Amino acid sequence: MMPIHARGVYIKQEAAEDPRSMARIQRMMPFIRCATEPVVVDDQGLHDLILAEKGKWHSHGTRGNQVEPVVIFNQYLYHHTPEERERRKREFPELFKGGGPAQYGGYGGFDWRDSGSAAHREKTGQVCQPAYALHSFWGCHFRCAYCNLGHVAHAYVNLEDWCEHIERSFATVEEKSPGQNLFQWDNGSDIVCWEPEYGGTKLLIDLFARQANRYLELYVGKSDIVDFMLDFDHKGHTVCCWSLSHATQAREVEPRTASMEARLKSARKCQEAGYPVRIRFSPIVPTVGWEQDIRHMIQRMFAEIKPEIITMEPLRYYNYEGLARDFAPGVIDPEFIEAMKGLSIEQHHLRQFPDELVARIYRVVFAEVLRLSPQTPVAFCRERRVVWDAFAEELKKTGQNPDNYVCNCGPRSAGPDPRLIAATA
């Protein structure tokens, strides 16, 4: 486990009373540097902590080295009756706000991701696929300028109970997500940074190795910590995914992350160990010289590995003021910064950079991928239908279209899909 400095460590009362959970916490604690002793909290204490903390969770910007998280060891409470669940939701509403990985109430872990539903597509215009996803951890070691996940490390620790819950939940998948065979595990944390002491990776790899047609997506993210899992008997049912950044981006705006080359080296190790590997260009930050850097990144990627799939998305959720605040002067391409000055707040929520600039990024990626490995499927992440349509010809060359595509975390993007097989042939 990577060491981390914390402002405080909090243990949910139920976890403190569970010997197996405390054993997991005790394995992790030697790597957590904190000036104060851990504090055991009940529902009220955790509720008050979240209220006090959540207003502080802004993007790291250039101040990442000043950010230290609160660490919360929590407990799933699947044994609670419906009446007990409703009472806690009324009395402690902060524990149940937000999406699956951000909830502190103890009833999630196998959660519905609604992005891509009919209502979501109508509201946003985006192409995506709803699915069940797995959640046990929220928070990150790294201090990427555009992210805020360094302020908290929220870990559920009764993972054996969680795995039993997952296996029970598989029986209900077909009702809402027919044909789903890929299950993404938290992308709100580069989870391998907490391993092997956390132990969730081994439990899930073993769980999915027992499944006939279900696959785990393990988010290695921007890290390179994989040696601990190279000998696991995954039986090809764990897919490893990296968020790959070009060298300038990794160096200038992603503090503490593994370098581009280190990420590729770890991906090669996993591929050699039999794991299918996938790549996300996410987010693509248009630093000065971005076009040359992206081309070089793609060339190095194909020199090292054969990814099953590549997905991409640009830097999002920024306006001009946010870019000026979070990125050091001279890092972002001036043309992109200037283009943001005229965008309204409404346009900012729809698209961070103007469409024509984003299309330029996409064209560079498509051109280099199709030149070097035309059989590798490429997909957009959380992108609008009009953009998919604008790149219909490029997508068609790898068998992709907005109504039938594979992507990194799509619910049916695993197994014997001919596009995935062709990419690694």
pLDDT for res 227: 98
Structure tokens at 404: 């039938």
Tell me the mean pLDDT in the region 253-276. 98
Whole-number pLDDT of residue 154: 96
- Could you tell me the sign of the dihedral formed by the alpha carbons of 20, 26, 27, 28, in that order? positive
pTM (2 d.p.) = 0.96
What domains, with CATH codes, occur in the chain?
Answer: 4-424 (3.80.30.30)
Mean pLDDT of the chain: 95
pLDDT at 381: 95
* Cα Rg of the chain, angstroms: 21
pLDDT, tens digit (0-9, with 9 covering 90-100), for 307-344? 999 999 999 989 898 999 999 999 999 999 999 987 76
Q: Which residues make beta-bridge pairs with 216? A: 183, 238
Sole residue written with tokens 């699915």: 131
pLDDT digits (tens, 9 = 90+) for 85-105: 999 999 999 999 876 656 899
pLDDT digits (tens, 9 = 90+) for 100-146: 656 899 999 999 999 889 898 888 889 999 999 999 999 999 999 99
Model pLDDT, residue 406: 98
Q: How many CB atoms lie within 10 A of CB 63?
A: 13
Min mean pLDDT across 21-25, 146-150, 318-322, 409-413 is at: 318-322
By DSSP bridging, strand 126-127 and strand 383-384 are antiparallel
